[in-house]
């Protein structure tokens, strides 16, 4: 038995129009009707949040945003606020995803403000960290992840371990088909848990859930989930299809 309840997220990135998203959400609602021992969160693109929430509000599947801005409102064209996400039905929000960091240049101090704003509004951040291939090859994995955690969570207090989810997503494993081995992932997850214990408390560090993300698919999900410090997954490509996402969830739930 796992010490922590698994949490599996589907990050749909910039895929699916609202009508396509509705179609997949309807399928997931039916397929996952009996899954209760795993928290399931899907993160569709912003325009699909409201219609997808309409479908899922009476189900055990939660929804999340893929990003937010740290101001409450204002002249910030193209941005979305925590209150908007909440009103659209979100309980979670992905923050600091590697594509935000590497494609859009988000820095740790900006990510920190986003985490603060999410928590202030009662949204649960799915706070992402992870090293690039070059950083791993240069032996910098722990240094990079530590910096992302310390700076991203600087000045943050949480009352309950369920207020925060951390996602370890090695950049070299995202969308590449190359997954970290369960041993590689477990090693970093254990390190992240030590850091969280130091930042918060031993008890919170032990209870905060740490997801693995990067080419998770039905064929590797169960083995990853069997590791002590891996408490779920953040799934990109394989979450776009209701069958493969369901399979990942069911295989993980059976571990």
Which residues lie near ligand 13P (CB under 6 A)?
11, 97, 169, 174-175, 213-216, 234-238
189 catalytic per annotation: no
169 catalytic per annotation: yes
Indicate the residue among 67 and 112 with the shorter CB distance to ligand 13P: 67
- Report the C-alpha gap between 159 and 200 in whole angstroms: 10
Indicate the residue among 126 and 208 with the shorter CB distance to ligand 13P: 126
The residue nearest ligand 13P at its CB is 236
- Report the C-alpha gap between 137 and 195 in whole angstroms: 22
Residues ≥6 apart with Cβ < 8 Å to 103: none
Q: What is the sign, positive or negative, of the torsion defined by CA atoms of 238, 25, 230, 250?
A: negative
Catalytic one among 106, 131, 169, 186?
A: 169
In whole angstroms, the minimum distance from the beta carbon of 191 to ligand 13P comes to: 20
- Report the C-alpha gap between 109 and 148 in whole angstroms: 9
Q: Are 248 and 233 in contact (CB under 8 A)?
A: yes
- Report the C-alpha gap between 111 and 87 in whole angstroms: 22
For residue 28, which of 220, 245, 174, 253 has the smallest C-alpha distance?
A: 245
- Report the C-alpha gap between 34 and 27 in whole angstroms: 13
For residue 186, which of 221, 210, 222, 217 has the smallest C-alpha distance?
A: 210
Q: What is the sign, positive or negative, of the torsion defined by CA atoms of 160, 66, 50, 88?
A: positive
Q: Are 229 and 206 in contact (CB under 8 A)?
A: no
In whole angstroms, the minimum distance from the beta carbon of 236 to ligand 13P comes to: 2
Indicate the residue among 41 and 82 with the shorter CB distance to ligand 13P: 41
Indicate the residue among 129 and 204 with the shorter CB distance to ligand 13P: 129
In whole angstroms, the minimum distance from the beta carbon of 12 to ligand 13P comes to: 9
In whole angstroms, the minimum distance from the beta carbon of 147 to ligand 13P comes to: 20
Catalytic one among 97, 99, 106, 131?
A: 97
Q: What pairing do the DSSP bridges indicate for beta strands 38-43 and 61-65?
A: parallel
In whole angstroms, the minimum distance from the beta carbon of 155 to ligand 13P comes to: 25
Indicate the residue among 232 and 237 with the shorter CB distance to ligand 13P: 237
Residues tagged active-site: 97, 169
């Amino acid at each position: 038995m796992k010490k922590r309840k698994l949490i599996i997220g589907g990050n749909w990135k910039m895929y699916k129009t609202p009508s396509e998203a509705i179609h997949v959400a309807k399928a997931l609602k039916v397929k996952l009707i009996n899954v209760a021992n795993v928290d399931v969160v899907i993160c569709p693109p912003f325009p699909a949040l409201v219609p997808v929430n309409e479908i899922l509000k009476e189900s055990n599947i939660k929804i999340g945003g893929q990003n937010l801005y740290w101001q409450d409102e204002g002249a910030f064209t193209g941005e979305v606020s925590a209150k908007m996400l909440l009103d659209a039905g979100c309980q979670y929000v992905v923050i600091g995803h590697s594509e935000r960091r590497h494609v859009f240049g988000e820095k740790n101090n900006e990510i920190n403000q986003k985490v603060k704003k999410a928590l202030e509004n009662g949204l649960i951040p799915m706070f992402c960290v992870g090293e690039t291939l070059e950083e791993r090859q240069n032996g910098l994995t722990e240094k990079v992840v530590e910096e992302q955690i310390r700076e991203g969570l600087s000045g943050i207090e949480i009352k309950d371990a369920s207020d925060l989810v951390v996602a370890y997503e090695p950049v070299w494993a995202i969308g590449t088909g190359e997954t970290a081995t369960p041993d590689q992932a477990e090693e970093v997850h254990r390190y992240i848990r030590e850091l969280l214990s130091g930042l918060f408390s031993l008890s919170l560090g032990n209870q905060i859930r740490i997801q693995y993300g990067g080419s998770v698919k039905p064929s590797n999900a169960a083995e990853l989930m069997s590791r002590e410090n891996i408490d779920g997954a953040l799934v990109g490509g394989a979450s776009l299809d209701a069958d493969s996402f369901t399979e990942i969830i069911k295989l993980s739930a059976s571990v």
